[in-house]
Structure 1
Amino acid sequence: MLQKLITFFERYSFGVCTYLGERFNVSISKIRLFFIYSSFLAVGFPLIFYFFAGIVLDIRNYVKRGRAGIADR
Structure 2
Amino acid sequence: MKNVQHFLETQAFGVCTKLGEKLGLATSSIRLYFIYLSFLTFGSPLLVYLVLAFWLNVRKHLRRERSTVWDV
TM-score normalised by the chain length of structure 1: 0.79
Post-superposition Cα deviations, 1:48-71, rounded to whole Å, max 9, x if no partner, equal 100110001000000001xx1326
Q: What is the RMSD computed on CA atoms of the aligned residues?
A: 2.1
5+ residue gaps, structure 2: none
- Change in 2 beyond 3 A, CA 1:24/1:8: closer
- How many pairs does the alignment contain? 69
In structure 1, the residue matched to 2:62 is 63
The structure with more helix, counted as a fraction of residues: 1
Asked which structure has the greater RCO (Cα within 8 Å, sep 6+), the reply is 1
Deviation at 1:11, TM superposition (A): 7.7
In structure 2, the residue matched to 1:20 is 19
5+ residue gaps, structure 1: none
State the identity %: 39
